[in-house]
Amino acid sequence: MSEDSEVVIEVVSILEAGTCPYGHQVGEKYKYPEERGKICAAAFHSIYPYVLGIRIGASFPWTDEKDSVTVCCPDYKNPVVFRISRE
């Protein structure tokens, strides 16, 4: 897998109160690396290891999906759930 693979980061859910203090909304999509600055810094810091893994062809043992992984940000009151996919 080329390190030039494009990754799409999609907001798929916002748990608990359902609102993100940063303003993320369900359905938003961001292309990595071009749009990484549009994602909340705390969220991006947490999801970056998965973004990098997906970008270089990794898979994760807790998911059946080959080209994506679903993870969330660290906000315990309003966790934003992201699906990270390789295009």
Mind listing the pLDDT tens digit for each residue in 8-42? 999 999 999 999 999 999 999 999 999 999 999 99
pLDDT at 4: 63
pLDDT exceeds 90 at position 64: no
Q: What pLDDT does residue 3 have?
A: 53
Q: How many CA atoms lie within 13 A of 43 on its CB side?
A: 28
Please state, in angstroms and rounded to a whole number, the distance separating the CA atoms of residues 59 and 33: 19
Three-state SS at 7 = strand
Please tell me what DSSP assigns to residue 57. T
Predicted TM-score of the model (pTM): 0.91
Tokens encoding 6: 């494009």
pLDDT at residue 77 greater than cutoff 90 = yes
Question: Distance from first CA to last CA of the chain, Å, rounded?
Answer: 11
